[in-house]
Structure 1
Amino acid sequence: MALVTGGSAGIGRAIAAELLGFGARVLIAARDGDALEATREELLEEHPEGDVRALIADVADDEQRRELLDWVEDQGEGLNILVNNAGGNLAKSSIDYTEDEWREIFEVNLFSAFELSRYAYPLLTQHAASAIVNVGSVSGAVHVRTGAPYGMSKAALQQMTRNLACEWAEDGVRVNSVAPWYIRTRRTSPALADPDYLDDVLLRTPMGRIGEPEEVAAAVAFLCLPAAGYVTGECIAVDGGFLRYGF
């Protein structure tokens, strides 16, 4: 059984579809109930033999995080896979953020992943081998134009990944992450609609194109599979070469 947060659209939806293709029972969670149910129905149309269940949950709220894991526990199968995909941002100059704004970014991107991982731990350890994959960002490794809090939260997510991987290896829980660059989603559409900005992005991307959600999903699925059974604490950049590009 796999739980994917932020599963109603974009990368989260693609991850849910990829895991369904590998035969996983998939639980998706997101804040927008209408979008969540529409996605669940679409996934079932694409995978008629699949099992997809959905729960409305805002993972930035601790009470709802606990309710989400209670719901997972009620399924009675423990948990094989947790994908911490939910995230958000508000790009501003560092001096322009209010405290509530930057703390909300950390709550959604970092604290939710930490708490969900901790709450899921007893369910993950019911199986001999299980996996957590955290969806990070290249902004956790280098400066990009996302605003400082976003980059800070994603950098901390990578360190959390390394720490949990080492702590939980003896319990059979592997913890890895992926770091996408620009991926074609609803969230990135406004920025990429600016031709000058798009040119800047592509000039810094050796492969010369924007990534697709399915390409991130494939990397996530690999990290969940037995084929990655000796991989933990790692981050796979899904970035078209962006992080390796020099002058």
Structure 2
Amino acid sequence: MSTSREQRWSLKGMTALVTGGTRGIGYAIVEELAGFGAAVHTCSRNQQEIDQRLEEWKDKGYEVTASVCDISSKEEREELINKVSSVFGGRLNILINNAASVIMKDATQYTLEDCASIMSTNVESPYHLTQLAYPLLKASGNASIVFISSVAGVTGLPSISIYAASKGQLSYSVRRAE
């Protein structure tokens, strides 16, 4: 009996949206989902990063599409979901809310604008994106939603207090919604 991952299970025929998928954890998630056979759409604020990653994924034989999206923008989130609906024929199986923003400053140096920006990007945006994606997720008949949080949400880390608060809020809100 072989233990290769392709024989253990597959995501062939499944669709996924991963926000912030051109770097870090998001990049690794796109690689894993596509490696298991899912068709993946990702987004980034940076077209150059998208182009580089799409070339890499094409060379690996992965089925990945991408678009520019700043998830902190309500209009761009709406455009992203419209694009995903078009690419995946009105269905979405997996939504990974990964994209986030962090500003590193001492707690006393954060401005109200810094706070509003981080909370909007890290809490409001994934929540709203999930609301927008709901009809696509429901239409798939088999859906999963993942919110990527951080250890910063449960432990104090210097210079990222607002980020920590946003990730703590995200973790608490998702647990309460279950």
TM-score computed with the length of structure 1 as normaliser: 0.64
CA contact under 8 A between 2:106 and 2:159: conserved in structure 1? Answer: no
Q: Which of 33, 43, 65 is the equivalent residue of 1:53?
A: 65
Q: Distance in 2 between matches of 1:92 and 1:139?
A: 14
- For structure 2, the residue ranges without an aligned partner over 5 or more in a row are 1-14
The answer to whether 1:16 aligns with 2:37 is no
Look up the equivalent residue of 2:44 and give its one-letter code.
A
Q: Tell me if the contact between 2:18 and 2:30 (Cα under 8 Å) persists in the aligned partners.
A: yes
After superposition, the C-alpha distances for 1:140-176 in whole angstroms (9 at most, x for unaligned) are 1111124221111001111222233x2xxxxxxxxxx
For 1:44, the equivalent position in structure 2 comes to: 58
Q: Deviations over 1:33-60 (max 9, x none)?
A: 01011111111212x1x31101000001
SS for the counterpart of 2:17 is strand
Aligned residues: 163
Query: Which residue pairs with 1:159 in the alignment?
Result: 172
- Identical-pair percentage: 36
Equivalent residue, structure 1, for 2:106 = 93
2:139 to 126, 134, 153: 126
Cα offset for 1:95? 2.0
Residue in 1 that maps onto 2:18? 4
Question: 1:71 aligned to 2:87?
Answer: no
The structure 1 segments of at least 4 consecutive aligned residues displaced by more than 4 Å after TM superposition are none
Q: Which residue in 2 is equivalent to 1:81?
A: 94
SS at match of 2:139: coil
Q: Specify the code of the residue in structure 2 equivalent to 1:163.
A: R
- What is the CA deviation profile of residues 100-151 of structure 1, one whole-angstrom value per residue up to 9, with x for unaligned ones? 1111111221111111111111110112221111111001111112422111
Distance 1:43 1:163 in 2: 36
Give the letter for the 1:119 counterpart. L
The normalised TM-score by structure 2 is: 0.87
Report SS of the residue matched to 1:3: strand
- For the 8 Å contact 2:78–2:132, the answer to whether it is kept is yes
Q: What is the match of residue 178 of structure 1?
A: none
- Quick one: distance in 2 between partners of 1:163 and 1:126? 24
Contact persistence 1:84–1:134 (CA under 8 A): yes
Kept in 1, the 8 Å contact 2:57–2:63? The answer is: no
